[in-house]
A and B are shown apart, each in its own frame.
Chain A
């Protein structure tokens, strides 16, 4: 196999502008449209209902639930044809047999042609705590990455890697906002894994950049990054491919519960791979990284 020689660095500007544009749009979406928080973070109740009768359709279900005085009710298809997810604001309270009563009322209304496969009910205190710990987890992981890279590399690299991470998280969340996809606990897990993956990808290229900087004193960082990206390109592609294959398998065959999670991950892997090349590297150039940058560090 011959080494590729693609002039990635020619497109730095173009893709930086594209990224800035995407980040801007994501920000606007996050501010004005916001995220569609699930019961984990908003509180409320989720019931996964399976209908056992084909004639029972979504509008019947919607109507029956609306009659129950549960606050704002949403009914959506979920996975298979006869599965639905019902969400509403009202949550488990001191009121006894809350779920049982809903079942009884529904039976009166549409007959015994359904079963509850899953119930999640989260009180306001718990959902606030879950949201807080989710945000803390993401912030903490970013901080830990920053410190780790700082220790292993120089601060310029650290900055480049973190910028790439922010880029990935914001664009992933922007996508979720645009498509109104639900944010729940597993999405936080996905975001953290994206952080790990994107970092992993960036580190591989950075390691090579550093190695090449030591090797060639007469080549500018602008070209060093390009050489390094090309040298690691086949690895980048192969690893992204195998990871995407695994994720696609979860997305397609892993059932409805893992759909959101695997979608976020697929998005994150693509964006993360892109950002390792087009966000992390241009920052090294902007920060004027030279051979001296790393040699100085080593002397100290």
Chain B
């Protein structure tokens, strides 16, 4: 165990130096394109906001079921299959009845790989809808994978909108990720007051223009909506003249005539046509501008608006007009979202945590180093040099993978310092025992290494198992702890078996005749 080939020595030295370079590059300002890597600081250290959003897919589901019902009706008409009693049960089940002679042919049309109306997912081996036929009643519900498909499509749309909204606000390096199939994680480093972003993300931003009506018997149906400021209510038609989809731009403006803040918008070609037609026929009527089911304002149409642009008046401050314009520019979410978890750390606290972490690392390290030196003298020195290179290796690996360092992560490093010497202690204690029965010092050292090896591996693997499980199941900062602890074990094993053993070997071979070696 004490013999090292030249090649081995060189590779150990190169490997160690390389990783040490990476770890030290965190503390220098050298601009080196090749080695330009840094450890990222977690939100708990640099300050920032972590928001977990959940998409409420029930409105999408309802809408899709409605659409499907219409599609199926049309489809059956085309196929000349008479049906009756179409309805939707519990917002999630389409049910209808078919005459007995058509049952088989209809159910064949509604299921299987080739169904035109009920798409088949090859990868899941299932249709979008599950079909249940009871007598002459047909029932269609979303299959498990149909539901997953629906959720992930609405998640894809939502994450795009979230990204646009966050980008519009212009925070630095936001991190926006999918979680599961109905959640979105937003990490905003450096942001200590996330209230504005939270209120922007919480809005669906579904904009519609609809006529105010007195007549409750309109063909499209009507609904009673309240104004945004809660002051009043109004009956509006369900017919949508124009929706936010047709907007291509929106900006806050100061209206020079009224001296009010307004939001101006531009429409795409289709939108401009629709808007022109509606405002031409509707002169004299009131046009309600509705955002997420609340009326912003309902101005009178004085004259047709044909230019494809217009403005929204309302009781805006400049801030609220800016936000509304931003929401309109970035588009509507497919479904409402809710913030289900928030963690925000101010930059002061982050800096305090870094300072406390570094202080306790320095003190912990010093105490351990002193203890080892007092206990083992020259071998303590070797263990301590090993400990330093171990730390450099650990930081180097974290830098190489551009890992995120959190406060618990720093705790993991300090704990590694405390536990890393264990391997060397095991070896030295074993050598002490071997030396009693063995006159040849080199042989004693050798068998000390050999006999302690399986114990050291067992002992470290158990901790590694715990770290891996924690890494897989832990969340946020705790993951950072598992990471440093786990990488720390690997770097410990490397430094003990290559660096410390190399140094020990050199020393023992030179001093083999000393009376009291250890």
Contacts and interface: CB of A to CB of B under 8 A. Distances in A.
Nearest to B481: A189
Contact of B199 (A97, A116, A242): A97
Interface string A99-122: 110000000000000011111111
A261 B485 CA distance: 14
A154 to B, nearest CB: 14
A247 B415 contact: yes
B344 interface: yes
B349 A118 contact: yes
Main secondary structure of the interface of B (DSSP, over half): helix
A246 B361 CA distance: 8
Contact of A242 (B422, B429, B432): B422
B475 interface: yes
Interface stretch (B232-240, B368-376, B389-397): B368-376
Interface in A171-228: 185-186, 188-189, 192-193, 195-197, 199-201, 203-204, 207-208
B460 A200 contact: yes
Contacts of B421: 238-239, 242
A31 interface: no
Contact of B469 (A144, A248, A258): A144
B345 A118 contact: yes
Contacts of A32: none
A201 B361 CA distance: 24
Contacts of A21: none
B342 A246 contact: no
B324 interface: no
Contacts of A118: 343-346, 349
A24 interface: no
Contacts of B344: 118-120
A246 B414 CA distance: 6
A235 to B, nearest CB: 5
B69 interface: no
Given A144-B465, A196-B467, A203-B462, A250 B360 contact: yes
Contacts of A93: 338
Interface in B360-404: 360-361, 363-364, 367-368, 371-372, 375
A122 B421 CA distance: 39
B218 interface: no
Contacts of A258: 356, 360, 407-408, 411
A44 to B, nearest CB: 11
A14 interface: no
B88 to A, nearest CB: 26
Given A48-B349, A242-B419, A242-B421, A137 B342 contact: no
Given A204-B459, A245-B367, A239 B425 contact: yes
Q: Which of B44, B353, B411 has the most CB of A within 10 A?
A: B411
A148 interface: yes
B122 interface: no
A145 interface: yes
Interface string B453-491: 011001111111111011001111110011001000000
Interface stretch (A69-77, A125-133, A282-290): A125-133
A186 B349 contact: no
Main secondary structure of the interface of A (DSSP, over half): helix
B364 A250 contact: yes
Given A118-B349, A250-B414, A92 B462 contact: no
A133 B476 CA distance: 13
A93 B363 CA distance: 43
A193 B462 contact: no
B112 to A, nearest CB: 37
Contact of B339 (A92, A255, A265): A92
A186 B408 contact: yes
A192 B466 contact: yes
A242 B202 contact: no
A243 interface: yes
Given A141-B469, A200-B463, A92 B419 contact: no
Interface residues of A, number: 75
A234 to B, nearest CB: 6
A3 B478 CA distance: 41
A244 interface: yes
Contacts of A130: 475
Contacts, number: 231
Contacts of A144: 465-466, 469
Contact of A120 (B339, B343, B417): B343
B283 interface: no
Contacts of B353: 255, 257
Nearest to B467: A196
Contacts of B356: 253-255, 258
Contacts of A250: 360, 364, 411, 414-415
Nearest to B482: A189
A185 B299 CA distance: 53
A178 to B, nearest CB: 24
B198 interface: yes
A89 interface: no
B7 interface: no
Contact of B407 (A3, A120, A252, A257): A257
A197 B419 contact: yes
Contacts of A115: 346, 348
Contacts of A255: 352-353, 356-357, 407
A123 B339 CA distance: 8
Nearest to A200: B459
A133 B415 contact: no
B467 to A, nearest CB: 7
Interface in B400-448: 407-408, 410-411, 414-415, 417-419, 421-422, 425-426, 429, 432-433
A96 B199 contact: yes
A85 B359 CA distance: 23
A242 B32 CA distance: 38
B242 interface: no
A13 interface: no
Nearest to A203: B458
A158 to B, nearest CB: 12
B30 interface: no
Contacts of A156: none
B465 A119 contact: no
- A-B pairs with lowest CB-CB distance, top 8: A246-B418, A249-B364, A255-B356, A196-B466, A196-B463, A123-B340, A253-B360, A199-B462
16 contacts: A92-B339, A116-B346, A119-B342, A136-B473, A148-B461, A188-B478, A189-B481, A196-B466, A199-B463, A200-B462, A203-B458, A235-B422, A242-B417, A243-B415, A249-B360, A254-B357
Given A122-B341, A253-B363, A257-B353, 4 more contacts: A145-B466, A186-B478, A204-B459, A254-B360
Interface of A: 1, 3, 48, 50, 92-94, 96-97, 99-100, 115-123, 125-126, 130, 133-134, 136-137, 140-141, 144-145, 148-149, 152, 185-186, 188-189, 192-193, 195-197, 199-201, 203-204, 207-208, 231-232, 234-235, 238-239, 241-250, 252-255, 257-258, 261-262, 265
